[in-house]
Amino acid sequence: MAGDEVTLETLHRALPGVKPVGARRQVVNLGDWLFYIVAKSLALLVIVLALLLVADLCRGASEAIRQFGLKFLVGTTWDPVTHQFSTLPTVIGTLVKGFIALLLAVPVSIGSAIFLTCYTPRWLRPVISYPIELLAGIPSIIFGMWALFAMVPVIRVIQIWLKAHFGWFFLFDGPAVYGVGVLSGSIILFIMITPIITAISKEILLTVPRAQIEGMLALGSTQWEAIWKVALPFSRIGLFGAVILGLGRAVGETMAVTMVGGNSFAMIHSLFDPVHSMASQIASEFSEATYSLYVSSLIYAGLVLFGITILISLMAQFLIWRISKGKLALLD
Amino acid sequence: MMKLTSVTAALLFTALSAAAGQALADCPTKGVKELTGAGATFPYPLYSKMFSEYDKACGVKVNYQSIGSGGGIRQLSEMTVDFGASDGIMEDKQKADAKGGAVLHIPTVAGATAVVINLPGVKSGQLKLTPDVLADIYLKKITNWNDKRIAAVNAGVKLPDLTIAVVHRSDGSGTTFIFTNYLSKISTEWKDKVGSSTSVNWPGDVGGKGNEGVANSVKQIPGAIGYVEVAYAKQNKIPWVQLQNKAKKFLEPSLEGAEAAAEIPTLPDNMEVVITDSANPNAYPITGFTWLLIYENQADAAKADAVAQLASWIITDGQKFAAPLDYAPLKGVAQKKAMALVKKIKVNGALVMK
Amino acid sequence: MNRHFRFRKFVEWANWVGMLCCISVSVFFLVAILGYVLVHGASYIDWEFLTAMPVPAGETGGGIANALVGSFLVVMVASLMALPIGIGAAIFINEFPSHGFGRTVRFLAEVLTGVPSIVVGLFAYALVVVPSGGFSAFSGSVAYAFIMVPIILITAHEALRLVPDSLREASLALGIPKWRTIMGVVLPVSSRALITGAVLAISRALGEAAPMLFTAFGNSFWNVNLTKPIATVPLLIYTYATGPYDDWHQKAWAASFVLLVVVLLTSVLTRAFLRGNSNE
C-alpha cells in the first residue's frame, strides 16, 4: 500500500468493522448515544436561555417600542421629565469607547501573550500570568474607584497638555479639565479587557505544536518569523475568540465606565467630552426609574445594545470566514 | 359586692396589661422574627444603625437593602418586600399599579442637601448664593465664577476667572429629586426647561455616579459646583456654600436648618409633601423627607403587626440615632402626623395599633 | 552576513522590543491596581474582618463573614450549573459537528458575553424571583450562571478545537467509543485551557454586584439558606464604596483584597489539583 494516502477511508477499508467517524452515523453504541443526547440538550439549553432573554427584553421594551418605534435609535434627547427617550448619543458613546479600548487592547494583550509564551522562561510564566488572571477577577467597582482616584488625575494632566499643544485638532478640542470623559472611559475599558484577552490568547498560543515552530527554526528562521508565519496563523481563530470575549466585556461593562465616563447625554465631539455608554445608562437609571415608560425605555436600550452586539458578532464571523477562506490550508 | 370585685379586677387587669404592653410597646407581638425592606440609599446608614438596635431590643431581624427609591417602590408594588423606602413621593400611576392597594408614606427623618464647590482660595461657608444665581448656574446661563451676579452677593470674596464646571448625578436619585424640586420652585425657567424628577436632562456638564462620584468630581475639578448629601460633604471635607432661603436669610446646611424646614404649619395629613424652599425663617432651603412605604390594608395579621410596630419604633425610640449620623430627626407636628399614619395600618379592616 | 539577514535580525529585535513594551504595559497596570488595592486594603484585614458580621453605620470594626460565605455558596451553585452547560455545549459543537446548529450556539454565546450584568440580573428576576415571590440566593446563582456560561463555552470551544484530530483518531482506531474518547483523551488534553476559562468565569462572577441587586438581594444578617436573600462580597463592596464614611471605604478596599486572594487561591488550587491530567 505504499504510495496510498492515509485517509479515513483507507484506514477504515483496512480495518473493517470499525465505523467511520465524522460521517453521517456518529454514534455507534449506547454510551455514545446517551452522551450525544446530553451534550445536545445542554447546547439546546443555551439557545433556549438566549431566546428567553430576548423574549423578556422584548416584553419589557414593548411599551417603549410602541411609543417611539425606530425614532428611538436616531433621536438625541433623553429627558425623563418630558418622557422623551432616544439613544443615539449613548450608542455612539458605547461604540466609540469600545472601539478605542479594543484598538489599544488587542495589540497589547496579544503582544503580552506572545511574550509570555515565546520569550519568557518557563518558571517566570506563572509569576506573571496568575496576577493577570487576577486582574480579570477584580470587581468593576474597584476598577472604577481606582480609575477615579488614581487614573483620572493623571489623564486630566495629559488632557490639559494635549489641549494646550494640539487643541486645534477636533479630537482634542474639548473640556480637558474634567478628566472624566471618553478618553478615561476608553482607557479603563482597555485596562479591564486586556487581562481576559491575554489569558486566553496565552492558552491558545501554548497549543501551537512545537514541531511546527521547531521546523521553522531548523530552517533558519528567526524566533519572530516563526511566530508571525506559524504560531499566529495557526491560532488565528482562537485569538479572534479571545478578542470577542474582550469586546463583549467592553460593550457590556457598566460600573467602572460609569464612574469615569462623565455620563452626559449630549453627543460627543472630542475625546474629552463626557459621555454615557448604554450599559452604564441602564445601570445608573434603572433603580430610580419611576414610571413604566421610563423603565420600558431603559429595557428598549438594552434590546438595542443586544442588537448591536449581534451586528458586531456577525461582522466578526464574516471576518473569520474571509480570513479562513484564504491561506489556511497549510496548517489545518 | 361581686360586681365591685370584678370591676376592680378588670381595672387591675387593664392597668397591668397596659403597663406590660407599654414596656414592649414597639416589638412585634405576633411572633414575626424577620422583615425585609428595600429602597432609598439616602437613609441606608441610619437604617442600618436603627435595625441593628432594633434587633438588640426586640430580637427581630430587619433586612434592608438600598436598591434605590425606584427599586423600593417596584418591589413594594410586587409585594416581594414587607416595606419600601423612598426619597420621593409615588406618582399616581405607581400608586395605581401597587398590587396591595393604598400606600402610606410615613416620613422617618429629614435630610439636607449641600451645594459644594471647588474654588481655590474660597473656604467652606464663605461663598453665598441666591436661588436665582444657583438656578442660572445650573442652566448654564452663568458660566464663569467672576460673573457680576455672583460678585454682587459676595462682597469681599476674591472670585477667580474660572469656568464653572457643573456636576450633577448621572444615576437616578432622591437627592436629584429634592434638588430639582427646589430649583423648579424658585425658577420658572428651570421648571419649564428641565423640570423635576429623580433623573433629568441636565443642561450640562459632568455626571458623577452616586454621591461619591459627585463629591469626587467636585474635589478634583477646579471650578466645579455640585450637590451632595450633607454627610458626604462633611466626610469628604468639601467646601459648601450658604444658600438664601425663602425668608432671605443665608444659611449653611445643618441639622437645625433641616429640622426647621419640617416645622411648617401646612404639613398635610398624608405627609406627601416636599419641604424644599420651606417658609420657616430658619429653614435650610434644600431639605427633604425620606419615607417608609407601607400598605394601608395588610393581608397577614402577624406581618401587619410587625411592620406597624417597626414603623412606630422608628418614629419614636429610633429617632435618637438620627442626629449623630447627620440626619434631622422628626419633631413636633411632623412626628405626630407620622404616628397618625402608622395608626392607620389595618388588617382585614381592623386597626392594628390603637 | 548579508544585508537581508541583518534586516531580519533587526526585525526580530524590533519585535522583541515591541512585545516587551506590551507586556510592560500589562504588568504596569497590574502592579498599579493590585498595588493600590493592597496598600489601601491589606492593613484593614484581621481575623475579625474575616469572621465577624457587618456592623451598622457609625461603628467601627465588624467584618464581612456573612458575605464571604454567601458569595461562596452562590458562586458554587452557579458553577455547578454553568460548568456542565458551558463545557457540554462546547463538546457538542466541536465533537458532534452539525453545520448550522453548532455555529448558532457559538454565535449566541458570543452575543451573550456583551449583555450588561444588570440586564442579566433583571432577567433572573423575571425568571426566578417573580414566580417564587421573593428574593433568594438561588436566583443570584442563576444570574451568575448566565454570565458564566458564555465565557466557559467560548473558552472551552477554542480549547477543544485546538486538540489535534490525530489524538481522537488514534483513540477511535483503538476501538475506544467516542464518548470515552472525549472524556478520557480530549478533555484531559485541553484541561489547562478549560481551567483557565473556568477560573476567568468564576472570578468574573465573584466580582459582579449588579446582578445581585434584584436576585440575591443582600442580607445584613447571617444566612445559608439558598431560598432566602443572602449577602455577597461584591454587593457589600459596592455599598461600602458608595457610602460617605472613610471607614466604609477602607472596608471596601479590604474586602476587594480578600476577593482577590480568593480568586488567586481558586486559580492555584484547581491547577494543582488537576496537574496530573494535563498534557504539558
- The tens digit of pLDDT for each residue in B245-255 reads 999 999 999 88
Q: Which of A80, A284, A265, A286 is nearest to B194 (CA)?
A: A80
Residue B17 has pLDDT above 50, yes or no: no
Q: How far is A50 from chain C (nearest CA, A)?
A: 7
Chain C neighbours among A 21-40 (CB < 8 Å)? 21-22, 26-29, 31-32, 34-36, 38-40
CA distance B1 to chain C (A): 57
**How high is the pLDDT of residue B25?**
61
CATH number of the domain that residue A129 is part of:
1.10.3720.10
If pLDDT is split at 50, 70 and 90, which confidence band does A12 have? low
Please report all neighbours of C, defined by 3+ CB atom pairs within 8 A.
A, B
**Residue B128, pLDDT score:** 92
With b for 16 or more beta-carbon neighbours within 10 A and e for fewer, the B166-199 pattern comes to bbbbbbbbbbbbbbbbbbbbbbeebbeebbbbbb
Residue B168: all three cell numbers together: 450633577
Q: Which residues pair with B116 in a beta bridge?
A: B226, B240
Instruction: Provide the pLDDT confidence category of residue B241 given band limits of 50, 70 and 90.
Output: very high
Cα-based distances in Å from C142 to A283, B166, C114, C122, C218: 19, 41, 17, 11, 15
Lowest mean pLDDT among A125-129, B164-168, B207-211, C1-5: C1-5
Task: State the pTM of this model.
Answer: 0.83
C243: nearest CA in chain B? B212
Q: Which of C57, C135, C217 sits opposite B48 (nearest CB)?
A: C57
Among candidates C116, C138, C117, which has minimal Cα distance to C127?
A: C138
Burial environment of residue C172 by CB neighbours within 10 A (0 to 12, 13 to 18, 19 or more): buried
In single-letter form, the type of residue at position A110 comes to I
Chain A: residue whose CA lies nearest to B39? A287
Q: What are phi and psi of B203, to 5 degrees?
A: -65, -15
Q: Tell me what the pLDDT averaged over chain B comes to.
A: 86
CB contact under 8 A, A284 and B197: no
Residue A185 lies in a domain: yes
Nearest to C59 by CA among B325, B40, B320: B325
- Asked if the Cβ–Cβ distance from C111 to A316 is below 8 Å, we say no
- What per-residue confidence (pLDDT) applies to A270? 84
Sheet harboring B297-298: ordered strands across?
Answer: B297-298, B346-347, B350-351
User: For position A17, what pLDDT does the model report?
Assistant: 60
The SS3 of residue A121 is coil
Nearest CA in chain B to A177: B221
More confident residue, A58 or B5: A58
Instruction: Measure the CA–CA gap between A86 and A70, rounded to whole angstroms.
Output: 9
Query: What's the pLDDT band for A330 if we cut at 50, 70, 90?
Result: very low
User: How many separate domains does chain A show?
Assistant: 1
Distance CA C246, CA C240 (A): 9
| Each residue's pLDDT tens digit, A161-179 | 888 888 888 888 888 788 8
CA angle B141, B217, B225 (to 5 degrees): 30
Q: Which of B198, B194, B195, B240 is nearest to B219 (CA)?
A: B240
Q: Which of A3-17, A89-103, C29-43 has the lowest mean pLDDT?
A: A3-17
Structural contact between residues B321 and B53, judged by C-beta atoms closer than 8 angstroms: yes
Query: How many of the other CB atoms lie within 10 Å of CB of A142?
Result: 28
pLDDT at C277: 46
CB atoms within 10 A of CB C6: 10
Query: Each residue of A255-308: pLDDT tens digit?
Result: 888 888 888 888 888 888 888 888 888 888 887 777 778 888 888 988 898 888
Using alpha carbons, select from A98, A198, A53 the residue that is nearest to residue C108: A53
- How far A172 CA sits from the closest chain C CA (Å)? 24
CA angle, C200 then C204 then C207, to 5°: 140
Q: Is A128 on the interface with C (CB under 8 A)?
A: yes
CB B21 within 8 A of CB B66: no
Interface with chain B: mutation pick from A154, A182, A288, A299, highest number of B CBs within 10 Å? A288
Average pLDDT (B25-42) is 85
Domain of A242 in residue numbering reads as 65-324
Range C49-279 has CATH code 1.10.630.10? no
Determine the pLDDT at residue C256.
87
Which triple of cell numbers denotes residue C79? 458553577
Q: What length is written for chain B?
A: 354
Please state, for a pLDDT cut of 90, what percent of chain A lies above it: 14
pLDDT at A8: 63
Neighbours of chain A (3+ CB pairs under 8 A): B, C
| pLDDT confidence of residue C264 | 82
B323 chain-C contacts, CB cut-off 8 A? none
Assign residue A270 a region: left if phi > 0, alpha if psi is -120 to 50, beta otherwise? Answer: beta
- Nearest residue to B299 (alpha-carbon basis) of B137, B152, B107, B99: B99
Which of C130, C220, C245 is nearest residue B63 as measured by Cβ atoms? C220
Q: Does A133 touch chain C (CB under 8 A)?
A: yes
How far is Cα B90 from Cα B93, in angstroms, rounded to an integer? 8
Confirm whether A332 is domain-assigned. Answer: no
User: Tell me, what's the pLDDT at A217?
Assistant: 86
B353 phi, psi to nearest 5 deg: -115, 130
* Residues of chain B positioned with their CB less than 8 A from the CB of A179: 220-221
In angstroms, the CA A23 to CA A26 distance is 6
Instruction: Give pLDDT < 70 ranges for chain C.
Output: 1, 274-280
What b/e readout covers B110-132, taking b as 16+ CB neighbours within 10 angstroms?
bbbbbbbbbbeebebebbbbbbb
Asked if B172's CB is within 8 angstroms of A288's CB, the reply is yes
| E strand or H helix at B168 | strand B165-169
Residue B100 touches chain C, beta carbons under 8 Å? no
Q: What residues does each domain of chain C span?
A: 49-279
CB < 8 Å to C114, chain A: 247-249, 251-252, 305-306, 309, 312
Q: Which residue has the cell 458575605?
A: C67
Cell of C243: 457610602
The upper half-sphere exposure of residue B65, i.e. CA atoms within 13 Å in the direction of its Cβ, equals 27
Mean of pLDDT values over B297-321: 91
Q: In what order do the strands lie in the sheet with B242-244?
A: B128-129, B242-244, B250-251
In whole angstroms, give the CA distance from residue A35 to residue B349: 60
- Please indicate if any CB of chain B lies within 8 Å of the CB of C131: no
pLDDT score for B7 = 53
The pLDDT value recorded for residue A21 is 54
Query: C137-161 and A182-206 helices cross at what angle (nearest 10)?
Result: 50
Considering only CA atoms, which of B103, B87, B107 is closest in space to residue B41?
B87
Mutation for testing the B interface, residue in C66, C128, C227, C239 having most B CBs under 10 Å: C239
In a domain, residue A169? The reply is yes
Looking at the predicted structure, is the pLDDT value of residue A324 above 80? no
Residue A28: CA count within 13 A, CB half-sphere: 14
Angle at CA of residue C13, ends C10 and C19, nearest 5°: 140
Task: Residue A290: list chain B partners with CB under 8 A.
Answer: 69-70, 73, 88, 91, 94, 172, 197-198
> Which residues touch C50 (CB under 8 Å, ≥6 apart)?
C63, C64, C65, C68, C258
* Range B84-107 average pLDDT: 88
Whether B20 shows a pLDDT value over 80: the answer reads no
CB contact at 8 A, A64 and A296: yes
Residue in A with minimal Cα distance to C104: A47
- pLDDT, residue A124, reads 86
Band the pLDDT of A191: cuts 50, 70, 90. Answer: very high
Residue A314 belongs to what H/E stretch?
Answer: helix A292-325
Q: What is the mean pLDDT of residues B205-211?
A: 86
List chain C residues with CB under 8 Å of B229: 244
Neighbours of C216 (CB within 10 A): 34
Residue A165 resides in a domain: yes
Q: Mind telling me how many Å the CA of C147 is from chain B's nearest CA?
A: 21
Residues in chain A: 332
The answer to whether B114 faces chain C, any CB pair under 8 Å, is no
Minimal CA separation from A320 to chain C, in Å = 12
Per-residue pLDDT tens over the stretch A194-243: 998 998 898 888 888 888 888 888 888 888 888 888 888 888 888 888 88
Give B45's contacts in chain C (Cβ within 8 Å): 56-58, 243-245
Domain annotation covers residue A4: no
CB B225 within 8 A of CB B116: yes
Q: Which residue of B has its CA nearest to A78?
A: B201
Q: How many CB pairs under 8 A join A and C?
A: 313
Please check whether residue B78 touches C, CB under 8 A.
yes
**Grid cell locating A35:** 452522551
Lowest mean pLDDT among A24-33, A120-129, B30-39, B221-230: A24-33
